[in-house]
Amino acid sequence: MEGVIFVLLNHALELHTTRSWDFIGFSESYVRHSYYNAGNVIIGMFDSGIRPESDSFSDEGLEPPPKKWKGKCQTTKNFTCNNKIIGARYYSSLKTDIKCPRDTTGHGTQTASIATGREVLGASYYGLAKGVARGGAPSARIAVYKVCWSFVCYAADILAAFEDAIADGVDIISISFGGSMHGNYFLNPTALGSLHALKEGIVTIGAAGNYGPERGILSNSAPWMVTVAASSIDRKYVSPDPKATILFTEVVEDIQAPYDAGFSSRGPNLVSPNILKPDLTAPGVNILAAWPSTVPVSEKVHSKKRVKYNKLSGTSASCPHVTGVAAYVKATDPNWSPAAIKSALMTTAYVMDPEKHKNEKEFAYGSGLITL
């Protein structure tokens, strides 16, 4: 067929399901500093869509989108964009899907709010972790690319989204999904799409996956991508009105954070064994993030529990942390290449304690914990 270079199978990939930013050094005073204003940085979120009504995506005080933005908003009866969510597209390989950028699973809303959510006072999960919810780059703009439906993301949709995101003018692409794909990078949709993005100066950040603690099962492991593992933070959930008493029967060792999460995928990179993966680790355990109030908290059928903020654990949560930091690096020097941004993130990482990870070490956390 004329114009076709090659054809690959339409594989299905899977989604990798406040205090964390302070933990890695991004205090509220830091993100408010005008020198680090990321208002001209556009983050392309490849996920399950977004809930635009959330306070985390308010456009109050934001100017119109940057002139470099060439994308569009696929508005529907119940979905519109604003000066925060400046663009939205949806893709579907299945005829049964509802055609709308709106998030119906909660995953895309959570990842977007972690990366670039606005400051929201008094956010909590049923009173737990109460405080100011915010993303890493609150002033950055969001371009939504809904490629995942009911936790499944098809290769054809992913490649189409990469093509659109490149043409739209995004600066960073964030991918919190993956799966057991072909060992050849050029038959892998995220690897192939991110390579084309790289050529246009766009850095792609991807979740390593939740296949730990086994070794060598990594998602988004292409050398030109930033592959992110998940680790713990120093948060404790304390109830002001406890209803139960815990009786201690033995003493166990409490390992001080940061520590790699047991579910986080480990290296080595089986496709390119000489290249260390993952590249970095970031907070990914019990992260408070925005949640669609129309989506039940419980997976039980007919559950009526609703919240505005929910907890998320997984490399899906750690990936947007690195995305938020990358937005500030890009804002500091818009001319930096993807390689320069990746180098800055890795060489400034907090070096993890190898004694806590005797069996895995760098295969669990790469160059270390993302930080300032």
Residue by residue, DSSP assigns 264-316 as S-----SSSTTS-S--EEEE-SSEEEE--TTS-SS-STT-----SEEEE-SHH
Distance in angstroms (rounded) separating the CA atoms of residues 256 and 15: 29
Q: Quick check: 63 and 83 in contact, CB under 8 A?
A: yes
Q: Quick check: 174 and 111 in contact, CB under 8 A?
A: yes
Residue-level pLDDT at 35: 43
Q: Is residue 2 part of a domain?
A: no
Residue 114's H or E segment, with its range, is: helix 107-116
Q: Which residues pair with 128 in a beta bridge?
A: 125
47 is catalytic: yes
Q: Quick check: 208 and 315 in contact, CB under 8 A?
A: yes
Task: Given the residues 16, 20, 47, 139, select the one marked as catalytic.
Answer: 47
Backbone angles phi, psi at 195, to 5 degrees: -65, -40
Q: Is residue 7 part of a domain?
A: no
Q: Which residues pair with 325 in a beta bridge?
A: none
CA–CA distances in Å: residue 65 to residues 2, 37, 294, 330: 37, 14, 28, 17
Task: Given the residues 56, 194, 221, 316, select the one marked as catalytic.
Answer: 316
Distance in angstroms (rounded) separating the CA atoms of residues 68 and 157: 24
Q: What is the pLDDT of residues 14-55, one digit of tens each?
A: 554 444 555 555 555 555 554 457 789 999 999 999 999 999
Q: Is residue 285 part of a domain?
A: yes
Domain containing 294: what range? 15-235+255-365
302 is catalytic: no
Residue-level pLDDT at 51: 95
The CATH number for 323's domain is 3.40.50.200
Distance in angstroms (rounded) separating the CA atoms of residues 254 and 201: 43
pTM (predicted TM-score): 0.86
Residue-level pLDDT at 303: 61
Q: Is residue 50 part of a domain?
A: yes
Q: Quick check: 198 and 71 in contact, CB under 8 A?
A: no
Q: Is residue 345 part of a domain?
A: yes
107 is catalytic: yes
Q: Is residue 347 part of a domain?
A: yes
Distance in angstroms (rounded) separating the CA atoms of residues 144 and 134: 18
Q: Is residue 169 part of a domain?
A: yes
Task: Given the residues 16, 107, 321, 357, select the one marked as catalytic.
Answer: 107
Q: Is residue 247 part of a domain?
A: no
Q: How many domains does the chain have?
A: 1
Q: Could you state, in chain order, the average pLDDT of each consecutive group of 10 residues for the chain (372 residues)?
A: 68 54 56 63 97 95 96 91 98 75 93 94 73 88 94 91 98 90 81 97 96 87 96 56 49 56 87 92 89 74 72 91 95 95 96 70 88 80
Sign for the pseudo-dihedral over CA of 76, 159, 69, 137: positive
